[in-house]
Structure formats: C-alpha cells, structure tokens
Structure 1
Amino acid sequence: MPEKAHYGLLKGKKGIVFGPLDESSIGWQIALHAYREGAEIAISNVATALRFGNIEELALLCGNAPVIVCDASRNEDVDNCFKELKEKMGAVDFIVHSIGMSQNIRKQLPYEELNYEWFMRTLDVSGLSLHRIVSYALKNDAINAGGSIVALSYIASQRNYWTYSDMGDAKSLLESIARSYGPRLAKRAIRINTVSQSPTYTKAGSGIPGFEKMYEYSDLMSPLGNASAEECAEYTMTLLSDLSRKVTMQNLFHDGGYSSMGATIPMIKLAHEVLNDRELAARVGLDDVSPST
C-alpha cells in the first residue's frame, strides 16, 4: 500500500479488529490504518483463518499486534477473547466487526431453496456475532467509556440483491443490533455504527455469484465510483476517532453515492441499447423484455 498522510487520529487509543484475513479484506486495511493513525491493535479471527490467511503478516505490520483466536459464534470463545485481550492490552477504545460468511452462497443455493442449518449459521456468524461481541466486551469491562464500535454492512440489508441471498438477511440483523444497542451503550458514551460499503473485491465478496457484474453495475451507478477497501478503512478512522463522538446508531453509506442514485446516463444508455437490439438482448438473456410503449 503506498504511503499516505496520517493524522494521529487514534494516537493513544487501543482497539481490536475481528475478521481480517488477507490484504484484500476490509478488516486488514482497517487494522493497518488504525495502527498507522497511532493506535495499539489486537487482531482476532477463527483458527482456520490463521492457517489459510496472512494474519501473522498483518500482526507484524501492526507492531507485533497480539493475535487472539476466536470463533465469534461461540459464547465461550468470545468471553475468553476479551479476557485475553484485557490481560495483554487492557480495556480498548474501539472494536471493529468485519465478519461474514454464507455456506448457502458458497454452494450457490437459490434463496427459495436455502439449507436452513446453513441459514442459521449465516445469521449467527454474520449478524448475531456483533451482539455477542458487544455483550462480552461489556461483561468483561473490556471497552472504555467514550469508545466506538463499527461493523461492516452492505446495501442488500435494505434492498434486494438477488445473489446476495441470506447474507442480506444477516446484514439486516447486524444493522438492527447496532440500533438496539445504541441507547444502551450511550450510557457510557460508547457509540455504535455500521458502514455500508460498496461491492469490494475481497475473498468473501468475490465468492458471490455474478459478483463481477454487481461490481461493474455499482461502479457505473455511483457518481464517485466504487469505494475500495483502503478507502473504507480511511473513512472508518473518522468513526473510531473522537471526531465522531456524537455519531451513533447510524448506517453510514460509503459507496460513492450509489445509495442515493436512481439512474445514471451510462446505465440508461446501456439499457436502451440492449432493449432495442434484439440480438444483443437475446445474448444476455433479456429477449423476453421490451421497452414499454
């Protein structure tokens, strides 16, 4: 990653980032940026991620950050994670939730034929884990007053994206948990927000069927284009810093303006060309669609 200006936004702060896997992951970029903004960092993921990811490399890049093995879908693991965190670092000032998975998407099962055991696993790992992490952080007095909690979301929590399947339901749950916890955390001036990021080429994102088309469509629809993982990390620094001390319970779109657009000229032109070219429409599977007259 090329050197960029850093501002000391997190100088003197401590935090833990759940879920970074490799250089492509948003959690990785957030951990790295937080460290470069002056924070002391801990990193957490499941045991398999330590074998198949590059987490040890990230730990070195973040000043020999402690790596805590934790399955965020298991109560005992999360409880022990915060106990270990307190032993190694003391209470932290911020927590980042960058966790998500869907076996249904991996196996490309259509939404109307979901495996319900896998569905429950999606909800648990990708949504309920935020509740579990916040709850055990509080029980272990592992987050300081005035702290910040950020979880990563996607616009499919609020709108239908066909191939995002049960992950859309999980992200809806994630955002709801953030809202429900907001007033409870506010008693200690702790804020909690979700960031709704553009489609991003991560290992998890790239596994979604038709992801390339989703990415290209979003890029054409976004006035500023898609936001990268690194840009998401830069934005997240403001939410972890004291600059956002009065921002809580928000789902904040970081998507180049995509969420506010109805249509763009490039998309209108493309749709017009396709729908008025029978051969092209047939080639892309839209031969049964024609413009309304």
Structure 2
Amino acid sequence: MSYNLLKGKKGIIFGALNEQSIAWKTAEHAAAEGAEFVLTNTPASMRFGTIDALAEKYNTIVIPADATNIEDLENLISKTMEHFGGKIDFVLHSIGMSPNVRKENAYNDINYNLYHQTLDISAISFHKILQACYKMDAINEWGSVVALSYIAAERTFCNYNDMADAKSMLESIARSFGYIYGQEKHVRINTISQSPTKTTAGSGITGFNNLVDYAEMMSPLGNASADDCADYIITLFSDLTRKVTMQNLFHDGGFSNMGMSIKGMEAISKGLSEKK
C-alpha cells in the first residue's frame, strides 16, 4: 500500500546492484511512495549487476561514480541537480566492502593496505558524499541522509573483521556531520543498524548463513528483510521524521536488546548434549 510519503521528493541512491540489495528495494519503495531518484554505483559493480534494468523500470538515469573519488562525486551531484533542475531531498549510502574479508585475512593478520581500502569504501566514502553535498549545497532543508550499518560496530562478531571498524566510523561520521548539517541546513543524518541480510555483500562473510540463523533465533520479531529495511528507510526520508537525526537506529527484530532467547538456549543445549 502506498501512502505518498515521498511525493515530490528527489534523491540519490548509492549501491543498487541487483534485486537482493537493500538499495534496490529502497528504490522500488521510494518510487511507490512518489519519489524520483538517480541511481549510482561504481563502474566495476555496474558491469556485473543489473542496475540499468532498475533505471529503465523507473524511467530514471544511472550516473557511474566511485564514492571514494571526490571528482566523481562532484560530477554525480552536479549532473543529478541538472537532471532534476534543482536540489535533492534524500541520499542513501548503501556501500560496504572489505578486501580483507574477501581474501579471508584474519583480523589479527590483516593487510593494512586492504584495511585502508575497507575504511575508505565503507565509511570515509560517507563523509566524502556528505562533504560534497554540503559544499555544493545540494540538499534541501529538512532533507535526509541514511547509511546502512550493523551491530558489529558496537559488539564483537567473529569473522566480521575490519568491517566492524568501518561501521563504527560510519556511525561516528553520522553524528559528527549530523550536528553541522542539522544546525546549518536542517539536514538529517542517520544510520540504520540492520539485521544480517542475504545480499551479495553480506554473503561474502565466512559463516554468514549461520549468523542469519542465529539472529533469527534470537530476535523476538525475527530478522528484518531487505524489504522491511526499505520501508524503514522510506520513513526516514519522509517528513514524518523531521526531528530525527544523529541516531543509529536498530532495525533488527529486537536482536540488539536480547541476551538469550528460548530458541537460542535450546540450540546451544542441543549442541552441548551432542558433544558429550
């Protein structure tokens, strides 16, 4: 059901790769709520994704951009404003990748050049996007910027590796830039700490399917899907959340406040019994 929550609003969506991705779902939901948007991803990602099909479906354009490159971002923002004939109202940062995770380098034996890449791609890119939008005065007053995080920014999860550090930095950037952008331009900046979600990026983490199953057992409401997350993002883009900023908002079915569930205890007890 559509509520026209984003009627007349325009934005940029970073990171739509294929139908599994949260950015893809967000684009679909944003269109259903009356928004227009420009899609963007790196040229490399576009080669093995299907972003062009998404753009065609919603009669929009794709502007390739490496979010770690300032010139690319300035070009993206300039062309987007030209396309819409003015400023935008929302931005989604759905970008994350760790070369160390892909190469299965343990956290206590990471490659530091790759570590820098993880931080640049997954967190510093968020600062670069915000700074470029700020300097180009690209976002309307009461606009909204959302980035996707994960609870590993605050708690230790095995095999999440240097992505945990990146997510911690991402959340800090939202707070620090959120103060400046909010005070001067009334632009809101938030992060969403989402349930483990079966996307192309998430599936690269060792033991990811087990992590999904564990979170499902622990969460009173079960894991939030990519579609569920898209719905939440839409509310943050809408005028219904005009006074929400600088927050890390958990969207995980209650997982973040759980200690132990009955299902989790039963699974652990069963495993311990089988070991005896």
Whole-angstrom CA distance in 2 between matches of 1:177 and 1:278:
45
Whole-angstrom CA distance in 2 between matches of 1:241 and 1:118:
37
Between stretches 135-144 and 226-235, larger displacement belongs to: 135-144
Q: Which runs of 5+ in 1 are unaligned?
A: 280-293
SS at the partner of 2:97?
Answer: coil
Identity of aligned residues (%): 53
SS at the partner of 1:149?
Answer: strand
C-alpha deviation, 1:273, in angstroms: 2.3
Aligned match for 1:94, one of 90, 108, 130: 90
Q: Does structure 1 residue 133 correspond to structure 2 residue 129?
A: yes
Q: Does structure 1 residue 277 correspond to structure 2 residue 274?
A: yes
Aligned match for 1:144, one of 117, 134, 140: 140
1:50 aligned partner = 46
2:2 aligned partner = 6
Whole-angstrom CA distance in 2 between matches of 1:232 and 1:65:
22
Aligned match for 1:66, one of 37, 40, 61: 61
Whole-angstrom CA distance in 2 between matches of 1:27 and 1:241:
16
For the aligned residue pairs, the C-alpha RMSD in angstroms reads 0.9
C-alpha deviation, 1:140, in angstroms: 1.4
Aligned match for 1:233, one of 226, 230, 238: 230
CA contact (8 A) 1:221 1:258 kept: yes
Q: Which runs of 5+ in 2 are unaligned?
A: none
Tell me the TM-score normalised to structure 1 length: 0.92
Correspondence list, 1:1-293, <5 A: 5-62=1-58, 64-89=59-84, 90-186=86-182, 187-279=184-276
SS at the partner of 1:69?
Answer: coil
- The one-letter code matched in structure 2 to 1:83 is S
Listed one character per residue, the Cα deviations across residues 156-184 of structure 1 (whole Å, up to 9, x for unaligned) are: 00000111100000000000000001111
- The one-letter code matched in structure 1 to 2:68 is S
CA contact (8 A) 1:96 1:150 kept: yes
Listed one character per residue, the Cα deviations across residues 211-262 of structure 1 (whole Å, up to 9, x for unaligned) are: 0100000000000100100110011110000000000000000100000111
C-alpha deviation, 1:275, in angstroms: 1.9
1:288 aligned partner = none
CA contact (8 A) 1:49 1:55 kept: no
- The one-letter code matched in structure 1 to 2:110 is L
- Matched residue pairs, number? 274
- The one-letter code matched in structure 2 to 1:201 is K
- The one-letter code matched in structure 2 to 1:45 is N
Larger radius of gyration: 1
Whole-angstrom CA distance in 2 between matches of 1:84 and 1:277:
61
